[in-house]
Amino acid sequence: MKVIVTERIAEAGIERLKEKAEVDVRLKIERDELLAIIKDYHGIVVRSATKVDAQLLAAAKNLKVVGRAGNGIDNIDLDAATAAGVVVVNTPESNSVSAAEHTIGLMLASCRNTCSANRHIKSGKWDRSPFKGNELHGKTVGIIGLGRIGGLVATRLLAFNMRVIAYDPYIPDERFKILGAQKAEKLEDLLAEADIITVHTPRTEETMGMLGEREIALMKDGVRLVNCARGGIIQEKVLCSALESGKVASAALDVFEQEPCPDNPLFAFENTVVTPHLGADTFEAQNKVGINIAEQVLDALEGKLVTNAVNMPSLPDKDMDYLKPYMLLAEKLGRLYYQLEKRPINRVEIKYRGGIAEHKTGPLTLAYLKGLLEPVVKDRVNYVNAKLLAKSRSIDVLESLDSSASEYTDLIEVKVGNGNGAFTMAGTLFGMREPRIVELNGYKIDMEPAPYMLLVRNEDKPGVIGCIGTIMGVGKINIATMRVSRNSRGGKALMVINVDGVVPKDVLDMVKKVDGITDVNFIKL
């Protein structure tokens, strides 16, 4: 596996990647060169500067994973990545504390004119009066976006005895209460009340330019602004005018509309404090980010579930441990249908029963769809695009949960609609969490999924099992296990035979000719 790293990440992360992949570190690579060579790579690790857009993804014929060493994913075209089956992973938690601390550092520097005073004293002068500032104590801070970083900033500023009000229409009231922040129902309420405003939203269509002329006019005179989230959330041109007029007393900015930007009119103001997108740049954060992204990229390359996939459901570690064997089971259940039936599907209904229904089951559905579609679609199928591919084939996917007890502690039941009724299957885990298929189209069985299997449908009458044994012996096929099930005495029966290798077509043809056998399928799970 080959991975290209286009922006600086911690050496520990590079070393971790090298344990399992060939790694090329190409910092500052030109876009054209990247477009030309990306086809050779299975993984790419970026920060915020590399644009992983539709053009790059189209050129990346072998790409499986984009690792965003950091949080914001506005430089990655998620839709294009999803359609291409490329998993995008990031490290949202790893740098939040650093970003929150930098926010507060910038806020204090801005209120106390630290940077101007620093320049002043280093130029051989000693004057205190121009640098008189303000305390945070007793002031009102308005936090826009009360997610991970906004929340960390809130709790830290409460320790400064600030009154914290926050605007975030997408989180429950409970979070405001837990964080000790007063909820602003409307953005305008926050704008009118805050002495200092700090933004912590992602850059989206809605937040881009959200603080413009109208919003700044609604703020208190002498308000102070902080942006350690994404450039452009505060409109830079408008901010320049507001700094000139004195409406805004100071601005502390870590991020800019254009990055990198060695030159920006905002740098000319004495009352701006600016840093070159340093929010996440601490040794602690970068070590965490580097190792975390390396591990996730390697997991994704090995086809494993990852903890922070942005374009597929991801799982916290505790759920991951519990669900891993079920993922395998779901995928094997998925592989059954097209190996046994040749009819197109229009609907997949999956019911999760028992304890499993209390966990995040979304990834299990993806695993089922991956197993189902892999044998029949030409595109790469993986956890990322499985749902999209099902949709593109007009397959409705329905998931339901039933945590009440059944015959099994946990059960995954699937009903596949094919316009001709339904094909059913169910699976569970036995003993040491080993997968078992326990129902197949109405037959109760105990089927241990194996790499090579024969599924024989027959009439329940004497001699059939013996004939199969003989044919397998003649064909030198070793039978590992055999299970039989019937719906009634003398009725229809199903035989599941695990064999040690591929069963050739001539042997299958001989089995098909046995009196009483109605159907034979060699399947691989």
Residues marked as catalytic: 230, 259, 277
Q: How far is the CB of 102 from ligand NAD (least distance, A)?
A: 7
Listing DSSP states for 357-426 in one string gives: GGS--HHHHHHHHHHHHTTT-SS---TTTHHHHHHHTT-EEEEEEE-S--SSSEEEEEEEE-SSSEEEEE
Which residue, among 403, 256, 425, has the nearest Cα to 334 in the 3D structure? 425
Question: Using CB under 6 A, which residues numbered 59 to 78 contact ligand NAD?
Answer: 71-72
333 binds, among ligand MLT, ligand NAD, none (CB under 5 to 8 A by kind): none
Q: Is 165 within 8 Å of 194 (Cβ atoms)?
A: yes
76 binds, among ligand NAD, ligand MLT, none (CB under 5 to 8 A by kind): none
Nearer to ligand NAD, 310 or 497 (CB): 310
Q: Is 361 within 8 Å of 399 (Cβ atoms)?
A: yes
Among the listed residues 16, 47, 64, 200, the single contact to ligand NAD using CB under 6 A: 200
The answer for residues whose C-beta is within 8 angstroms of residue 80's C-beta and 6 or more apart is 53, 54, 57, 58
C-alpha 137/C-alpha 22 separation (Å) is 53
363 binds, among ligand MLT, ligand NAD, none (CB under 5 to 8 A by kind): none
Handedness of CA 156, 159, 160, 166 (dihedral sign): positive
Q: Return the residue matching tokens 């390359």.
A: 301
148 binds, among ligand NAD, ligand MLT, none (CB under 5 to 8 A by kind): ligand NAD
C-alpha 146/C-alpha 161 separation (Å) is 18
Among the listed residues 143, 179, 226, 280, the single contact to ligand NAD using CB under 6 A: 280
Nearer to ligand MLT, 100 or 243 (CB): 100
What x-and-dash track marks residues 223-262 binding ligand NAD by CB under 6 A? -----xxx-----------------------xx-------
Please identify, among the stretches 126-134, 222-230, 304-312, 492-500, the one whose residues bind ligand NAD according to the rule CB under 6 A: 222-230
Which residue, among 471, 480, 462, has the nearest Cα to 520 in the 3D structure? 471
Q: How far is the CB of 294 from ligand MLT (least distance, A)?
A: 15
DSSP assignment letter at 312: S
Let me know the angle formed at the C-alpha of 523 by 521 and 525, rounded to the nearest 5 degrees.
155
Nearer to ligand MLT, 29 or 426 (CB): 29
CB count within 10 Å of CB 408 equals 19
Q: Whose CB is nearest to ligand MLT?
A: 70
Q: Is the peptide bond before 260 cis (omega within 30 degrees of 0)?
A: yes
Nearer to ligand NAD, 153 or 390 (CB): 153
Q: How far is the CB of 396 from ligand NAD (least distance, A)?
A: 30
Among the listed residues 68, 220, 277, 359, the single contact to ligand NAD using CB under 6 A: 277
C-alpha 309/C-alpha 465 separation (Å) is 48
Q: Is 200 within 8 Å of 153 (Cβ atoms)?
A: yes
Q: Whose CB is nearest to ligand NAD?
A: 147
Question: Using CB under 6 A, which residues numbered 436 to 475 contact ligand NAD?
Answer: none
List of residues contacting ligand MLT (CB under 6 A) = 47-48, 70-72, 95, 279-280
DSSP assignment letter at 186: S
Length of the chain: 525
Q: How far is the CB of 74 from ligand MLT (least distance, A)?
A: 8
Which residue, among 87, 23, 488, 27, has the nearest Cα to 304 in the 3D structure? 87
Nearer to ligand MLT, 10 or 495 (CB): 10
Half-sphere exposure (Cβ direction) of 448: Cα atoms closer than 13 Å? 12
Encoded amino acid at 422, one letter: A
Q: Return the residue matching tokens 């070793």.
A: 478
Nearer to ligand MLT, 70 or 145 (CB): 70
Q: Rounded to the nearest 5°, which phi and psi values hold at 130?
A: -70, -15
C-alpha 239/C-alpha 252 separation (Å) is 11
Half-sphere exposure (Cβ direction) of 377: Cα atoms closer than 13 Å? 22
| Residue 146 within binding range of ligand NAD, rule CB under 6 A | yes
Nearer to ligand MLT, 95 or 458 (CB): 95
Nearer to ligand MLT, 98 or 458 (CB): 98
What x-and-dash track marks residues 80-119 binding ligand NAD by CB under 6 A? ------------x--xx--x--------------------
Q: Cα-atom radius of gyration of the chain, to the nearest Å? A: 30
Among the listed residues 110, 201, 458, 498, the single contact to ligand NAD using CB under 6 A: 201
Q: How far is the CB of 230 from ligand MLT (least distance, A)?
A: 8
C-alpha 289/C-alpha 272 separation (Å) is 29
Query: What Å distances lie between residue 387 and 63, 82, 381, 383, CA to CA?
Result: 19, 10, 9, 8
170 binds, among ligand NAD, ligand MLT, none (CB under 5 to 8 A by kind): ligand NAD
Q: How far is the CB of 257 from ligand MLT (least distance, A)?
A: 14
Q: How far is the CB of 136 from ligand NAD (least distance, A)?
A: 20
496 binds, among ligand MLT, ligand NAD, none (CB under 5 to 8 A by kind): none
Nearer to ligand MLT, 48 or 385 (CB): 48
47 binds, among ligand MLT, ligand NAD, none (CB under 5 to 8 A by kind): ligand MLT
Nearer to ligand MLT, 81 or 323 (CB): 81
Number of residues that bind ligand NAD (CB under 6 A): 32
3-state SS assignment for residue 295: helix
Q: Report the interface residues with ligand NAD, using CB under 6 A.
A: 71-72, 92, 95-96, 99, 144-150, 167-168, 170-171, 200-204, 206-207, 228-230, 254-255, 277, 279-280
